Structure 1
Amino acid sequence: MATSTRLYGEWAETYDEDFVARSGYVVYRRVVDALLQHREQINGPVFDIGCGTGIVGAVLRDNGVEIVDGIDISQPMLGEAKKKQTVRGDAVFRHLVAADLTQRVDIPDNRYAGLISAGTFTHGHLGPEPLDEIWRVANIGAWCAIGVRTTHYLAAGFGEKLAVDVREGTISEPNLIEVHMYSPGVGDEEHADDKVFIVVCQVLR
């Protein structure tokens, strides 16, 4: 984790251009699309988990989500997110929090009507352990769209963790949407076929 935090800190100022644009990284838009399918039922703020430079939050705001807060472990990434503006020129984020999701974060229970994560689990930085903390800050009925790289999902035990949470009544049965991480024919051929499961569910308690 310390190595990846340092890497993203060094990369923050050029991340959008160096990685997002040049690699054809599009999965974040697919994750946003998955959450927006339930836009009419999200009556409150959305929490962008592992918000990075704010590319997810910007798309959410430009598609009608009025309030977005973000959390990330990298302060330089959050510095870039703070600069992000909507097409109307407003700040994308209401609040930004620097925190480690493997620890309890200083956010009250039942705060968010929507949860989204397009990078934290997509790149394999964290296993399923932070999911309890993520569910904690969600309202009952909150919709969630969380991207997890397919290989990481299988290897790290996400399916087993989600099954436990369903049995315990914490979340609804998740819908897994499989998508490509990158646009075809763009970027590194080695990762051209990388795929992601978008976990879509509701928090029930």
Structure 2
Amino acid sequence: MSKPPIVKDAYALTSAEAVKELYRDWAVSYDIGFSVSQGYQIPREVALAFFGAEGVGPVLDVGAGTGLVGEQLAALGDVTIDGVDLSAEMLAVAATKGHYRDLIEANILQPLPTQQRYIGIVSAGTFTLGHVGPEGIVGLLDVAEQGALFVIAVNAEHFESAGFAAMLDDIHNRITDLSFKDIRIYDDRASEDHVDDMARLIIFRTV
């Protein structure tokens, strides 16, 4: 790309290859040029909700990107964290932060190349417009231990349009303690067209 990506570019993605291309270009500038400048607060909210629900590790950070959720988890508690992301360039940035035991380059819509099972699964920024739909959560059940705590942030517009409620109804016999929390994605530093964007935290445990 001739200019750094923006949120509008990310929301307009239509394929895994397009996702990889955009985040390859965004990786180096993502933390300062996007997260800090826009007041991106979902990683902190996910980590707070995880520990607030008495989450423990090992934890899988889904769509780990540059490691923003890992930073927040490491700051709030002592847990073992693995990360998975489609973008090798974003994971390379995450690796420099030293919070992850293992970083896995993979598409979460396909079986993950790991034998590890997790007692915590978190995600911020992956279940959003142009990215991953509710089928991604279903697939993650296969790498979750019994009783695993999920804290998944979903863009509120995406939650409604992509059928997350129907998916949760479909898997109701595989999960328990389902709850939601609606929060702002950005603080007041965000651009005018995104300052009021909302996310829904989906919180549950596996049975």
- Partner residue, 2:114: 107
CA offsets 1:150-192 (integer angstroms, 9 cap, x no match): 11001000000011111xx2111521100001102x1210011
May I ask how many residue pairs the two structures share in their alignment?
A: 192
On the 8 A contact 1:124/1:149 being kept in 2, the answer is no
On the 8 A contact 2:47/2:76 being kept in 1, the answer is no
Matched, 1:190 2:196: no
Structure 1 residues 56 and 199: CA distance shift in structure 2, 3 A: same
Quote the RMSD (CA, aligned, Å).
Answer: 1.3
The equivalent position to 1:180 in structure 2, one of 172, 177, 184, is 184
Runs of 4 or more above 2 Å deviation: none
On the 8 A contact 1:182/1:194 being kept in 2, the answer is yes
TM-score normalised to the size of structure 2?
0.89
Partner secondary structure for residue 127 of structure 2: coil
On the 8 A contact 1:124/1:148 being kept in 2, the answer is no
Partner secondary structure for residue 13 of structure 1: coil
CA offsets 1:90-143 (integer angstroms, 9 cap, x no match): x2000000001111111226x111000011114541111122221111110011
User: Which residue identity does 1:32 align to in structure 2?
Assistant: A
- Partner residue, 1:17: 32
On the 8 A contact 2:43/2:72 being kept in 1, the answer is no
TM-score normalised to the size of structure 1?
0.90
Q: Identity of counterpart residues, as a percentage?
A: 35
5+ residue gaps, structure 1 = 85-90
The equivalent position to 1:97 in structure 2, one of 77, 80, 104, is 104
- Partner residue, 1:137: 143
5+ residue gaps, structure 2 = 1-14
Q: Distance in 1 between matches of 2:129 and 2:95?
A: 22
Q: Distance in 2 between matches of 1:124 and 1:183?
A: 22
Q: Distance in 2 between matches of 1:123 and 1:141?
A: 29
On the 8 A contact 1:124/1:152 being kept in 2, the answer is no
Of Structure 1 and Structure 2, the greater strand share is in 2
- Partner residue, 1:35: 50
